[in-house]
Structure 1
């Protein structure tokens, strides 16, 4: 991109002051560079931006017609141009009664018909009406999926575990090697276990391999295949024909739409496992929180628009400042799987090097993203953040309020929460200001090892404060990051809704799998040699018990 605003930002990036200087030059910075909506408060004052840079980033967004692109996204235009379809995940959380006509079809009506069927199934399972082949009520539900059919539901069910009001256990299986499933099946009763096969295409090899193994496990306990399929399997897919061919009963099929991207699908029937765990009321709260963020995204001015601000700052860091790593650090154990979820959302969406017009990009796009619970990460990779040679931007996420159930030990838990808050705020200080943030007694000016105790600072970060973690605020938080990803894609001129890089490895795996099963094919020298080694090795399994 060669427009003047882009060039101005490139020039500003060469001389941006460090964070210590930025704070000294503006006493109001800690409150001026903030925004809040949907019970989320963001402080981006520790990012390497000033008012000039922010104004230019917003100008760049306007030049890229971000407002028009947001409208196209929300109204069902074909924003996924390489696959010639909309990306209507926001429609999955629109309130009942609204109308959205796309291609002559009321999408909202379809969505709520699907949610109604999800609700009916959820109630049958939770109320012990759904029975297995022997007549016993279901005690365990196993969601078999991978990617977007796994990461979102896993993250949300773990985060919202305290809202679970059922004794039904919900499990997740994704790995194609069978480790998760093998370990899990040893603990389950086939008479009371229900499997959800979640696959948009109903052709994903990882998922179908696990599903076939689950079916074989059930058949080893009961000989009536029809009863097993009728009482122990639910299918979620865009392909009812494939679900039927596999054996899923029509009453047990939940439909998706092609315009739902896998990594944006947890709001749909893919979220069935979440609803079973926390109840449909709380699942609707999750949707309501996301919808609230959608409305904020659509209407708030860019300077106070949370997804726009996070997206523009993300572009500033990755493209203009050359910061190619980003870490997400929730200081709340319930958000343990949130960084994993975001790795797919961001890197599968924006890990692109070709623009919508088919031309190669001439600048850095999506950074490498990873993270962990902040308190654990402090004892793992914060050493690199504070004293390594890599520039890394960070998002710190924490709820303000927690532990008020009235239990006798709550005061101790509340103190632990305050300790977590203290660490969250302290770590962002040291990342930003290095040794300047430390009290005099910790600067070790006269310590013979002082050269090893220098903290360079100037590592940019944003702090996100949730009023409290709940189904609704979690929905808003997830939608915030979804829209952040879209904003970044608009500035970069790339399509965040396809994933051709995911597909290519699967295609290659099929040909290699054929060789492992006795077929013939030639690959590169390394792969050929590895296949030779695998072919001559005899596998012997010895019990260690």
Structure 2
């Protein structure tokens, strides 16, 4: 850690702590000054409001975090990201996911547009019946190849989908069996999503899916496969015709890949016009993140808050609650994005980190979560920063009372966490002064969804830069996978506890 970075952290730690109540009483304009709005593109427009006023950020903290950003070289790293320069030093790669939605380096954007047109042609051909009557798609991937598509499809097809998509990631055969039971094999395509086209869970599931097609009378199972990969030659070797191979660049990481051909099942489900709206929403967030400075930069301000609680207030977790059924899978998606990106113990320079990195991301859906975990948030001994995400427009056509109750509960929870209650006795005492942020969307449409996901990508990147770590590698994923392969091959020297489990399961 440089002396400038160390001094910046010392200055942040030295800021006197004030309660949320004190902060609001000292600043009548706090709600406005610690909120920001992103205007979305498109004919219908729409906005997303990012309200960080119920966090403990104040002018003194923001000023010192801005100094940390300067000392950490945030502006230069942001420039490298958008210029497609190396930001993943351990693997010697750029991270070109912004280019997939039209942001950043012109050459990379042009390449991405060519790949998008290739996907566009295949999606339109399928919709037009070129591959027969296609009613179902089984999308097989894992990690970022599955979590992003699953989230997007669940969020954007509540009113129906052009093709019924089932996302399968688990190697547990029950997951595939459930998809098989819901699909007519004669009207089903298989998408195989794997960056390397060697991921054991994905390729095992893919082989089983092809066998299912063959066993159910499909004459040419391989002709029903679409490959989504950064290794197109391996997909062709595996038996996929090159006309149904949709490549994406090696510089697009799995958890940042929704915008690439990994988004094929999303486009097939919602249509290419809507998929391009999703990209446009993400591009609007890119433009804001690329040009806004300091605390006015919404993802960077969120990172200030994240790091304040993780490093200064010793908060080990951060909770995310979507008060919208369409975003049920958002906490699952954010777990991988944030914890796989920033769950590191060394800096980008291979030195030990100077403090906690990514908190444990967890969450659920309101109002269900209120009756499950909010007891701990209000009265437990852990301080847990909370993000609330809601939509002004409902996703249903029922009595407006449903959505009114949903939103009032969302806003009330944030107010209650802050205010607390002295209570009649200790069992009814709520300490209050517990932080929350609220992201309020006009609606959950493709552009809004794209902007939301891009916001969290950039928030994750900003956190990483301020901590000096590399968010684009994930070597911690590999050890357990390597040991599993040793077991499968009948080798390995394991501890007695593991060996006993292997023996009990008949795997020893």
CA deviation after TM superposition for structure 1 residue 521, in Å: 3.7
1:466 lines up with 2:461 in the alignment: no
* CA distance, structure 2, for counterparts of residue 264 and residue 536 of structure 1: 36
In structure 2, the residue matched to 1:397 is: 389
1:311 lines up with 2:299 in the alignment: no
Kindly report which structure 2 residues correspond to 1:172-321, keeping only aligned pairs within 5 A, or say none: 172-222=167-217, 224=219, 227-230=220-223, 232-321=224-313
* CA distance, structure 2, for counterparts of residue 280 and residue 332 of structure 1: 25
Kindly report which structure 2 residues correspond to 1:515-530, keeping only aligned pairs within 5 A, or say none: 515=490, 520-530=491-501
Q: 1:504 aligns with which of 479, 493, 496?
A: 479
| SS of residue paired to 1:358 | coil
* Cα displacement string for residues 393-444 of structure 1 (whole angstroms, at most 9, x for unaligned residues): 01111112336x9xxx65x1x22112111111110111112116xxxxxx4x
| SS of residue paired to 1:372 | strand
Q: 1:415 aligns with which of 401, 413, 428?
A: 401
The 1:240–1:429 alpha-carbon spacing in structure 2 relative to 1, beyond 3 Å, is same
* Cα displacement string for residues 111-136 of structure 1 (whole angstroms, at most 9, x for unaligned residues): 112111111111122223312xxxxx
| SS of residue paired to 2:28 | coil
Aligned CA-pair RMSD: 1.7
In structure 2, the residue matched to 1:134 is: none
User: What count of residue pairs does the alignment treat as equivalent?
Assistant: 498
The 1:6–1:21 alpha-carbon spacing in structure 2 relative to 1, beyond 3 Å, is same
* 8 A contact 1:93–1:291 mirrored in 2: yes
* CA distance, structure 1, for counterparts of residue 507 and residue 139 of structure 2: 36
Tell me which structure has the larger Cα radius of gyration.
1
* Cα displacement string for residues 298-320 of structure 1 (whole angstroms, at most 9, x for unaligned residues): 11122211111111111111112
* CA distance, structure 1, for counterparts of residue 451 and residue 55 of structure 2: 22
In structure 2, the residue matched to 1:542 is: none
* 8 A contact 1:318–1:365 mirrored in 2: yes
Q: 1:11 aligns with which of 5, 9, 14?
A: 14
* CA distance, structure 1, for counterparts of residue 192 and residue 453 of structure 2: 24
CA deviation after TM superposition for structure 1 residue 23, in Å: 2.0
Kindly report which structure 2 residues correspond to 1:1-400, keeping only aligned pairs within 5 A, or say none: 1=1, 2=3, 3-12=6-15, 15-38=16-39, 39-94=47-102, 100=105, 106-131=107-132, 137-162=133-158, 164=160, 166=162, 168-222=163-217, 224=219, 227-230=220-223, 232-400=224-392
In structure 2, the residue matched to 1:433 is: 419
* CA distance, structure 1, for counterparts of residue 346 and residue 242 of structure 2: 41
| SS of residue paired to 2:439 | strand
Gaps of 5+ in 1: 132-136, 437-442, 538-545
* 8 A contact 2:185–2:218 mirrored in 1: no
Gaps of 5+ in 2: 40-46
* CA distance, structure 1, for counterparts of residue 216 and residue 286 of structure 2: 48
In structure 2, the residue matched to 1:482 is: 457
